[in-house]
Chain A
Amino acid sequence: MEAAMGLMRRMPPRHSETTLSALLSLLPGHASDLLSQVDLPLQVLSDVDSGKKFILCEYNRDADSYRSPWSNKYHPPLEDAPYPSSKLRQMEIEANDIFTVYCEQYYEGGISSVYMWEDDNEGLVACFLVKKDGSKTGQGRRGYLEEGTWDAIHVIEVGPEEEITRYCLTSTVMLSLTTDDVSSGTFSLSGSIRRQMNMNLPVADGHLSNMGKMIEEMEAKLRNSLDQVYFGKTREMVCNLRPPNEVVQMRLPTS
């Protein structure tokens, strides 16, 4: 299993789906481990009622059907399927509305979904998902990207409600971007990172507010990490391979 995860970390992130299906066919006995530890780019369906898109994941799936956070219906329809309690569904609706606004602010578009359910320890689990297509044919506003996707999955385990409640967040971001022009050729970066964050927060502030702030903080950290550390390291490597010529004119930053 460790070897399988090692392979996941080395294969090009663009091929993560192929890598995972290759591993699943070689290690059928480890299927549930692999599926829970490996994240793949998010898939999307359209809600039958409103046509609004929603994101598919393990947390809104039952058998081969997926529950929409907009209509609360399973696609395709399913008998005897699990639903959140009506109280939780209220919170889920509110979370979806607010998260949509948050995504509009940060992602200038994109698709978002939130799913909630009660867990065995009298707490709850919430999953916040975002999918953004930033390519110039998608929702990229500035037309820089030939291809660009950002997929974020945030799973928060909320401990049993006490004055100070425990929140455990596990976040994964997968992204890829490609620019392409005649003079500089094709430039492609892609990758994924996963981090965890635990906080004890006053329940009086409200679950949504607490979870929202954690996610916002986490996304900022991940974005920064990808930009400065990860992309930065690849840039450093390129400079090591071929030390830049000082005499060369640097392209001035476009404003």
Chain B
Amino acid sequence: MAEEETELSDQQKKGIAKWFLINAPAGEIQYVAKDLKSVLKDDDVYNEAAAVAFPIYNKSHLIYLKMPGGYGDVLVTSYGELQDNEYLDPKTAQVVIVDHVKQVCKRVRPATDEELPSPYIEEYRYALEAELLKYAAEAYPKGSCAVYCTNGKDVEGPGSDFEFVVVISAARNSPHNFCNGSWRAIWNIEFRDDIQVLELKGKCQVGAHYFEEGNVQLDAKRECSDSTMFQGPDDTATAVVHLIRRHENEYMASLEGSYFDLSDNTFKELRRKLPVTRTLFPWHNTMQFNLKREIAEELRIGELHDIKRA
């Protein structure tokens, strides 16, 4: 296979560069970027690819960045995206301008009235977020969360449907321990005014990467749904967070269960710890084995010629 390798076009290189960046594990895009730049040896192509890839990565990983001015963290997600680099933080009613490639907040400004929900909606949103923050502080010590109104933010009062999205994101990066991980949960909540019911659809995604002298990755996800009555803001908030907490607890338990089964059962499907005999393989019995084979061979030699070619 010694043909001349045709030089890749810039377009092809860009495609490859984007692929590497987008597929970086949680918390590792900067390391991947560094290695990629060395391998690519073309800063222009890299920069073009990064400009496209970083926003995709950031939004899909639900990264959270420190807001200037000590206001806490802001989530970078498509639900809060006002423009390409502008993200609403509903908790503090501010908008951050973000540098995707550097993964930092450049500036922050107050949100305008048009960018915020109506008072009626905000009552619900605020109550839910307050309850959510309490839950998240307990369950996700280093995480961040927010509630966005994704539909019907200008609804003035009862009589219309609207939709919220709850976003929870927790990441743990321990590069010196060769271990990184992330937990992402997105809950879609449809407020159905007609039937006075809230319909919840949740999706949890967990990832972990351990790479000391090796490379092992966990990728787990689960979807679920539930519903509850459409009540006033405070009661609704309590009910919703109660459901979220219950489902996420269940998921955590099922993850633990999967790991537990792994050692004893699941792994066996690939390779047993020991043979059924519970002893090591009798390699020294090869002599016996050889003898058996030789006899079988002699019986066959009469029928077959030339089974082995020199």
Contacts and interface: CB of A to CB of B under 8 A. Distances in A.
B251 interface: yes
A230 B208 CA distance: 10
A188 B218 contact: yes
B283 A209 contact: yes
Contacts of B254: 183-185, 251
B238 interface: no
Given A22-B16, A220-B273, A242 B139 contact: yes
Interface in A203-255: 205-206, 208-209, 212-213, 216, 219-220, 223, 226-227, 229-231, 233-238, 240-245, 248-251, 253-254
Contacts of A149: 270
A181 to B, nearest CB: 9
A83 B309 contact: yes
Interface stretch (A52-60, A137-145, A154-162): A137-145
Given A140-B269, A142-B269, A212-B283, A3 B38 contact: yes
Interface stretch (B91-99, B118-126, B189-197, B285-293): B285-293
Given A10-B24, A234-B218, A241 B182 contact: yes
Q: Which of B13, B172, B219, B310 has the most CB of A within 10 A?
A: B219
Contacts of B172: 237, 240-241
A16 B125 CA distance: 43
B284 A189 contact: no
Given A7-B35, A251-B254, A242 B140 contact: yes
Q: Is the interface of B mostly helix, strand, loop or mixed?
A: mixed
B301 interface: no
B303 interface: no
B276 to A, nearest CB: 7
A226 B220 contact: no
Contacts of B170: 241-242
Interface residues on A, range: 35 or more
Contacts of B310: 83, 86
Contacts, number: 275
A179 interface: yes
A72 B309 contact: yes
Given A83-B309, A188-B219, A231-B259, A7 B20 contact: yes
B214 A209 contact: no
B8 A244 contact: no
A111 to B, nearest CB: 13
A141 B270 CA distance: 10
Contacts of A248: 249-250, 252-253
Nearest to B36: A7
A107 interface: yes
A27 B221 contact: no
B82 interface: no
A23 B181 contact: no
Interface in B41-68: none
B222 A186 contact: yes
B179 A97 contact: no
Contact of A132 (B271, B276, B280): B271
| A-B CB proximity, top 9 nearest | A185-B222, A191-B216, A251-B257, A3-B38, A193-B214, A134-B269, A237-B181, A105-B275, A28-B5
